[in-house]
Amino acid sequence: MKFRVDRDVLADAVAWAARSLPVRPSVPVLSGLLVEASDDGLVLSTFDYETSARATLNAEVSDEGRALVSGRLLSDICRSLPAKPVEMVLDGTRVSLTCGSARFSLQTMPVEDYPALPDMPAASGTVSSDVFAHAVQQAVTAAGRDDMLPVLTGVRIEISGSSISMLATDRFRLSHRELDWQPISPDESLAALVPARVLGDTARSLTAGSEVTIALAAGGSGEGIIGFEGSGPGGTRRTTTRLLDGEFPKVRSLFPSEHLTTATVDKTALIESLKRVALVAERNTAVQLAFSDGTLTLDAGSGDEAQASESIEATIQGDDITTGFNPQFLLDGLQVIDEAVVELAFTVSTKPVVISGSMGDSDPTGDGTGFRYLLMPRRLLS
């Protein structure tokens, strides 16, 4: 194996592939990055039996071959190289890397022990890469992080015709994002439960090109996989991940069909006020929100502890209401809403609030769809 490649292209592709390497691999070869050179160019791959990453890039290949080297070490080396072409050569059980006057020699791992990467499912359709990345960022906000409840660490993706819905919940909050896409089969309906962390990392990393291809087999669930493909510097990027097994809770019914109180508030003013008031909120205690007479008053702290209070303008329709929320969960939802004005919709103080961008605002993403964030209230200290 012998090839020559642009330093920036190689460093970016190696860093992208190495990002999914396991921290504590079950077997040593899973810490490796597979380098394959052929007449078609250069392919860099990683795989941990759950998630695979494959970057294809252009290179001047003199001799075909493949080698398995430490992924994290190669990533660190490539990131530190001078801005000159890189040459890699396999000689026996070692790979030499030369860039300008910098030279490295790396021990290889047994390539025959490396597992075969899973095949990409057939493409289901395409979506704008920027819209997809932003939609995923919003959806994963409410995903659980407790590995003891693995189903809740995923994002439920539901595809129906030209629409994609994403749902995530950790039992205390719920996010729902819809977006348009271009399906290959307009009449097809698909569903998948995708690990939120992998989905978030993948969506962010595939924004170099204009589109992302989503590949999901019909009836994909349980032991199935989902694939994503997009453009990267110098070539293409492809990720597959195993779907989560289990029944995602039927959460759509949690969104109430009607509201008794709605309030619209300037998003930036609410975020800044909430951050200040939350400074005195003890761990796991709520910040109180009281809506009355065109004013939203935020309070935190009680008794002999530090206390804070601040009021901001609000347009209120319906009954006055006083409730409380985990301040960080409330901030998480507000910060991923695009619109400058947010709407908070209530039934009663003991029921969840539904937060969304005000319908009076234009749609900044230009995709004509919306995001809703439902948050359970917290008990207020007397």
Considering the domain architecture, whether residues 222 and 138 belong to the same structural domain is answered as: yes
Quick one: pLDDT band at residue 362, thresholds 50, 70, 90?
very low
Between CA 237 and CA 205 the distance in angstroms is: 9
Q: What burial class does residue 119 get, using C-beta atoms within 10 Å of its C-beta: 0-12 exposed, 13-18 middle, 19+ buried?
A: exposed
pLDDT at 366: 42
Considering the domain architecture, whether residues 260 and 366 belong to the same structural domain is answered as: yes
Between CA 128 and CA 186 the distance in angstroms is: 17
Quick one: pLDDT band at residue 234, thresholds 50, 70, 90?
confident
Considering the domain architecture, whether residues 325 and 275 belong to the same structural domain is answered as: yes
Considering the domain architecture, whether residues 259 and 366 belong to the same structural domain is answered as: yes
Does residue 232 carry a pLDDT above 90?
A: no
Does residue 350 carry a pLDDT above 80?
A: yes
Quick one: pLDDT band at residue 359, thresholds 50, 70, 90?
low
Q: Is residue 118 part of a domain?
A: no
Considering the domain architecture, whether residues 91 and 147 belong to the same structural domain is answered as: no
DSSP string, 281-304: PPTT-PEEEEEETTEEEEEE--TT
Q: Is residue 233 part of a domain?
A: yes
Please report where in the chains the tokens 């990002």 appear, as a residue.
Answer: 19
Considering the domain architecture, whether residues 149 and 208 belong to the same structural domain is answered as: yes
pLDDT at 302: 79
The predicted-structure confidence for 178-196, as pLDDT tens digits, reads as follows 999 999 999 889 999 999 9
The total number of residues written for the chain in this structure: 382
The predicted-structure confidence for 217-227, as pLDDT tens digits, reads as follows 765 443 589 99
b/e map 232-259, b = 16+ CB within 10 Å: bbbbbbbbbbbbbeeebeebeeeeeeeb
Return all residues near 306 (Cβ < 8 A) that are at least 6 apart.
280
Q: Is residue 35 part of a domain?
A: yes
Considering the domain architecture, whether residues 335 and 354 belong to the same structural domain is answered as: yes
Does residue 255 carry a pLDDT above 80?
A: yes
Q: What burial class does residue 229 get, using C-beta atoms within 10 Å of its C-beta: 0-12 exposed, 13-18 middle, 19+ buried?
A: buried
Quick one: pLDDT band at residue 229, thresholds 50, 70, 90?
very high
Considering the domain architecture, whether residues 149 and 199 belong to the same structural domain is answered as: yes
Tokens of 39: 């007449």
The predicted-structure confidence for 97-127, as pLDDT tens digits, reads as follows 999 999 999 999 999 999 999 999 999 999 9
Q: Which of 195, 216, 242 is the last residue of a domain?
A: 242
Return all residues near 23 (Cβ < 8 A) that are at least 6 apart.
none
Between CA 358 and CA 313 the distance in angstroms is: 15
Residue 41 to residues 78, 211, 276, 280, Cα–Cα distance (Å): 18, 22, 54, 58
Q: Which of 113, 135, 152 is the last residue of a domain?
A: 113
Segment among 128-132, 196-200, 256-260, 315-319 with least mean pLDDT: 256-260
Considering the domain architecture, whether residues 206 and 270 belong to the same structural domain is answered as: no
168, 154 Cβ separation under 8 angstroms: yes
Domain limits at 28?
Answer: 2-113
The stretch 239-256 carries a mean pLDDT of: 94
- Which one is predicted more confidently, 304 or 77? 77
Considering the domain architecture, whether residues 154 and 97 belong to the same structural domain is answered as: no
How many CB atoms within 10 Å of residue 91?
Answer: 12
pLDDT at 2: 96
Number of domains in the chain: 3
pLDDT at 358: 84
Q: Is residue 236 part of a domain?
A: yes
> Which residues on adjacent β-strands are paired with residue 250?
none
Q: Residue 163 is inside which H or E element, if any?
A: strand 163-169
The predicted-structure confidence for 286-306, as pLDDT tens digits, reads as follows 999 999 999 999 999 877 788
Q: Write phi, then psi, for 203 (nearest 5 degrees).
A: -60, -40
Q: Is residue 342 part of a domain?
A: yes
Q: Is residue 381 part of a domain?
A: no
CATH number of the domain at 43, please: 3.10.150.10
> Which residues on adjacent β-strands are paired with residue 214?
125, 228
Considering the domain architecture, whether residues 220 and 321 belong to the same structural domain is answered as: no
Q: Which of 113, 145, 177 is the last residue of a domain?
A: 113
The predicted-structure confidence for 257-278, as pLDDT tens digits, reads as follows 899 999 999 999 999 999 999 9
Whole-model pTM: value is 0.90
Q: Is residue 248 part of a domain?
A: no
In single-letter form, the type of residue at position 361 comes to: D
b/e map 347-363, b = 16+ CB within 10 Å: bebebbbbbbbbeebee
Considering the domain architecture, whether residues 260 and 369 belong to the same structural domain is answered as: yes
Quick one: pLDDT band at residue 371, thresholds 50, 70, 90?
very high
Q: Is residue 358 part of a domain?
A: yes
β pairing state of 86-91 and 2-5: antiparallel
Between CA 43 and CA 58 the distance in angstroms is: 9
The stretch 28-40 carries a mean pLDDT of: 96
